[in-house]
Structure 1
Amino acid sequence: MSLPILAILLMVNLLSSEPQSASKNDFHIVFYNVENLFDVKNDPETKDDDFTPDGKNHWTYHRLDAKLQHIYKTLIAAGKGEFPDIIGLAEIENRWVLKRLIDNTPLSRVPYGIIHKDSPDPRGIDVALLYRKDRIDPVDFDFLRVVKEGKRQFESRDILYFSGRLNGDTVHFFVNHWPSRYGGYMATKKKRNFAARILRQRIDTIFKSEPDARILLMGDFNATMNEGCLRDVLRAAQFTNINGKDSLINLTSNWRNESIGTLRNQGQWAVFDQFICSPSLLDGGQLKLDLSRTHICHEAFLLEADEKYLGSKPNRTYLGPAYHGGFSDHLPIVTVLHYE
């Protein structure tokens, strides 16, 4: 048998086999800000005109489908070859692009459920969550509005809440994409404080009824771990500052000494994409976060040379209005919940 025919048969066998996780006791979780996953149609209710065939970005079905394949490749790489069990996503325009992602890529081999709702963000971008229906039993979901009325009103992405049972244990997930720094740090930090208060209120409600609740936050917080919105308002501490069962622990503190972040601006890496958890996910029973497998995914194909500032930077889909054909301006982050 010739080598090409053998290779084809092996590939057919792989694609026809049932997808499995490396271990039934491992739950792979990925968060990824995918950078502007829009459909190609103009929505008159949002500012999405640039991402249409006639817009300045000349966004087409061909470019959309190429991006979907890139997202699939990234998610599988982040899962070390496995289909992730929970996927948090940011900068998603609508449910239609999510359906296209899970139906028109090899993600279709896994029965993914979708949690999504259009939010009041002016650009029409939202957060979303995908979960493996064959591995996780959904319990509840909700969307926390980040909308401020009055003199300094603004509208931002919803915070997505989802709870599910993993091997019988309930875990509470929150997917975030907090207000950006566009317009300057000082001019926008109150918006992130506002989002942090909304999230902390919901977390306090969970702790009140379930003191040992297993809670995992993920998202692009548009802030580093030592900024006030995370440290003081959300009360997400580093490992050395844990105080009480209602504490939150910012797992990003383990990445401080790494030479790479999740995004890069003017030659400087920063970590805006983070995992934050309750203490019970570290020491509260059989279901625990595996810190040794909690990391920033920086596979070579997600990076390119930074010719201006040297080093490397994320391989983006667009550079300004110019189509670059890359992946995203953010790198994904990964963690694993392990059931002992």
Structure 2
Amino acid sequence: MKATRDILYAKLSDQNNQTLFVLGVHAPSKLGGEKESMPFRKTVVDKLIYTSDSIRQQEGDNAKIIIMGDFNTGHNSQELQPLLHENFINVTQNATGRHGAKASYKYHGKWESIDHCFMSSSLAKDVMDSWIGDKTWTLIEDDTYGGLKPFRCYLGPKYLEGYSDHLPLVITLTTK
């Protein structure tokens, strides 16, 4: 197993002692091929499940947990299925943009949803809406493939003055 990026863990509490757990992910890419790289992404998912199980053991089954980030794979992929079996809900599965983005990432002219936000069922019930944050200033013309694409910050070592090659996911929760 080659080294991979760390998982960000944050425990946030408010003045009413409500606690939210956030796990931020940037899973390994498909470099070298999808089949060859799948075990690396599966290892990340296994670690997410191990961590969420630990949280639930300490906080109870109703712990509010968010797992989000760049998973480098689609929502139907085999390596993400274990999260669904652990009562996490992909609240951004059907998210689309409001200014032309069909997904959060565009590669060789094809929009892909490889960024996801999974929430524990105790928190997912509070989701009112989710969409891709494709503000007009985050997009540029795709001269090669047509349409629009994210206005990225870098292309190799060249600074392009953009923002990211991924568009953000936006989620609105009810407040209770």
Pick the structure with greater CA Rg.
1
How far does residue 328 in structure 1 lie from its aligned partner after superposition?
1.3
Q: Which of 268, 279, 301 does residue 121 from structure 2 map onto?
A: 279
How far does residue 158 in structure 1 lie from its aligned partner after superposition?
0.9
Q: Which of 82, 89, 102 does residue 249 from structure 1 map onto?
A: 89
- Paired AA for residue 162 in structure 1: A
Q: Which of 65, 73, 76 does residue 226 from structure 1 map onto?
A: 76
Q: Which of 53, 60, 73 does residue 204 from structure 1 map onto?
A: 53
C-alpha distance in structure 2 between counterparts of 1:212 and 1:317, whole Å:
39
TM-score for both structures, normalised by structure 1: 0.47
Q: Which of 32, 35, 55 does residue 186 from structure 1 map onto?
A: 35
Q: Deviations over 1:139-180 (max 9, x none)?
A: xxxxxxxxxxxxxx3101111111112343111111111111
How far does residue 182 in structure 1 lie from its aligned partner after superposition?
1.6
C-alpha distance in structure 2 between counterparts of 1:339 and 1:323, whole Å:
40
TM-score for both structures, normalised by structure 2: 0.88
How far does residue 256 in structure 1 lie from its aligned partner after superposition?
6.8
C-alpha distance in structure 2 between counterparts of 1:160 and 1:212, whole Å:
21
1:214 aligned to 2:56?
no
C-alpha distance in structure 1 between counterparts of 2:111 and 2:26, whole Å:
19
List alignment gaps of at least 5 residues for structure 2: none
- Paired AA for residue 306 in structure 1: D
Aligned length, in residue pairs: 172
C-alpha distance in structure 2 between counterparts of 1:248 and 1:155, whole Å:
26
Q: Which is richer in helix?
A: 1
How far does residue 337 in structure 1 lie from its aligned partner after superposition?
3.6
* 1:270 matched residue in structure 2: 112
* 1:335 matched residue in structure 2: 171
C-alpha distance in structure 2 between counterparts of 1:180 and 1:211, whole Å:
32
Q: Deviations over 1:185-224 (max 9, x none)?
A: 1121110011111111111222234111111111111111
* 1:59 matched residue in structure 2: none
C-alpha distance in structure 1 between counterparts of 2:139 and 2:96, whole Å:
20
Q: Which of 2, 10, 33 does residue 162 from structure 1 map onto?
A: 10
CA shift in 2, pair 1:257/1:160, >3 Å: closer
C-alpha distance in structure 1 between counterparts of 2:102 and 2:147, whole Å:
10
